[in-house]
Amino acid sequence: MPSMLSSVRRSLRASVVLANVSLATVLFATPAWSDPSKLEVFPAELARVAAELRDKALAESDAYDFIASLTTEVGPRPAGSVNDRRAVAWAVERLTSYGLEVRTEPVTVPHWVRGKAAGRIVAPYPQHVELVALGGSIGTPEGGIEAEVIEVEGVDALEALEPGAVEGKIVFFNRRMTRHPQGAGYGPAVQARGSGPAKASPLGAVAVIIRSAGTSSHRFGHTGGTRYADGVRKIPAAALSNADADMLERQVATGKPVRFHLELGCRNLPDEMSANVIGEIRGREKPDEIVLLAAHLDSWDLGTGAIDDGAGCAIVSEAARIIAALPQAPRRTLRVFLAANEEFGLSGARAYGELHADQLVNHTAAAESDLGVGKVSILRSRVAPDRMPWVRDLERLLSPLGISHVDTPAFGGADLRPLRPARVPFFDLPQDATLYFDYHHTADDTLDKLDPEDLRQNVAAYVTLAYLLAETETDLGRAPEPEQ
Ligand SMILES: [Zn+2]
């Protein structure tokens, strides 16, 4: 039951939204799309319906209820867990109720369980620290391990050390993630999480601890998958809270030997079955041509996966629900793809690529939502240069939402990776990620972090994009070759 206060807060937010809508109506009394001289390729009717759907989503979409239900009735849904399977059943029921044709496609997923995690600095100044195991880490022997700490910034610095420098030690990767609206700090910060243990082990390290790849100042670690290399001895790996990484950094800076104790109870269990969930609106003229909207249904286990990626699932599903309610289906098939196990090895994306290998060339466009639920302010595209007039018209339809096109090519998201070789045109509507990495992969990834107004703005942007892609008569062709 929502508290009295939260329902008051919600109705206050609702009136703010209404005020915004009426302000927008005044500001955009003559929207760009209604002036035929401003549209380069869109027929007026296509633009009119897209604008109607956009404004309807902004006023009344209900993606918030999707996330509330998923996080309350299922909760965290790491790959291979009982909740992972419950999430699939939940999504099938939900998408069916949205008027989509729904099916599941089986995916084999790894099954890793976290167990307990404890860490402390033993010397020179004994202190308890907060940390979490990295996804996939092996456990320590019962009673934990204790060793001297060697600090490096990142993998490059590790590889530049003298031979023997890390023998028998715990490597502390201490690169700080910088805050950025598009999450640009994540790439450099996440490198040590992904490959640090695999790089440190052959050098003789006994364990790895990293500064969390996240911007939170809360005293908890950010988890995330690590990848051991084939044939390399596996060593335990954990992420320290930023505050405790600061503490460890200060103790190392004293120049005195720093000893650390780590105990992890993680285990890798046999693989399990999960599924990709597919919900479709079958195209009325070109059912074999597919516009794909992706997000991932799995989450890490520490929070409830409200933001990563309950929000993305809700945004793309709600966009499809609004389109499914139109009197007639769009020209092409609109397919919602809720991927299994994105977080711990992209199992769902790989399975999709294998199962649909023959149809990838029939995917006319794709977009993924997996960067939380901040407001969208930019549009990125990956289309042939001669299709840019189409993209500029799209931008005109999105501009009342405060969205403008930027020249950086669309990335497409991790679950769209199998579509890259087929050169499927990609569109990104990335969320503002300034705060996203405070919550990402932590116990704080919960429903209360979402702003329902921002969520409606997201749905409005995605429904506009999805409808135009599925309904347009323009052939968007193939995207330029992906750069390596
Ligand atoms: Zn995600």
- Pair 433, 183: CB distance under 8 Å: yes
From the CA of 398, how far away is ligand 1's center (Å)? 24
Q: What is the per-residue pLDDT across 79-102, written as a single tens digit (0 to 9) for each?
A: 999 999 999 999 999 999 999 999
Catalytic (active site) residue 342: yes
Q: What is the per-residue pLDDT across 391-404, written as a single tens digit (0 to 9) for each?
A: 999 999 999 999 99
pLDDT on residue 35: 65
From the CA of 203, how far away is ligand 1's center (Å)? 32
Give the architecture-level CATH label for domain 115-265: 3-Layer(bba) Sandwich (3.50)
From the CA of 268, how far away is ligand 1's center (Å)? 21
Q: CB count, 10 Å around CB of 90?
A: 18
- Please name the residue that has the structure tokens 């059943």: 89
pLDDT on residue 385: 94
Q: Which helix (H) or strand (E) holds 61?
A: none
From the CA of 261, how far away is ligand 1's center (Å)? 31
What one-character-per-residue DSSP string does 94-120 give?
HHHHTT-EEEEEEEEEEEEE---EEEE
* Pick among 3.40.630.10, 3.30.365.10, 3.40.50.12280, 3.30.420.10: CATH of 31-111+271-471: 3.40.630.10
Residue 27 pLDDT exceeds 50: no
Indicate whether this model's pTM tops 0.85. yes
From the CA of 416, how far away is ligand 1's center (Å)? 12
Interatomic CA distance for residues 260 and 411, integer angstroms: 40
**Which residue is catalytic, options 342, 343, 395, 471?**
342
Residue 482 pLDDT exceeds 50: yes
- What token pair was written down for 78? 């790491």
pLDDT on residue 418: 96
Residue 23 pLDDT exceeds 90: no
Q: Where are the domains of the chain?
A: 31-111+271-471, 115-265
Provide the pLDDT confidence category of residue 33 given band limits of 50, 70 and 90.
low
From the CA of 295, how far away is ligand 1's center (Å)? 8
Residue 309 pLDDT exceeds 70: yes
With 0-12 CB in 10 A as exposed, 13-18 as middle and 19+ as buried, what is 82? exposed
- Pair 291, 333: CB distance under 8 Å: yes
Q: Which of these, 270, 253, 149, lies nearest to 207 by C-alpha position? A: 149
What one-character-per-residue DSSP string does 8-52 give?
HHHHHHHHHHHHHHHHHHHHTSS-GGGSGGG-SS--HHHHHHHHH
- Pair 367, 424: CB distance under 8 Å: no
From the CA of 153, how far away is ligand 1's center (Å)? 25
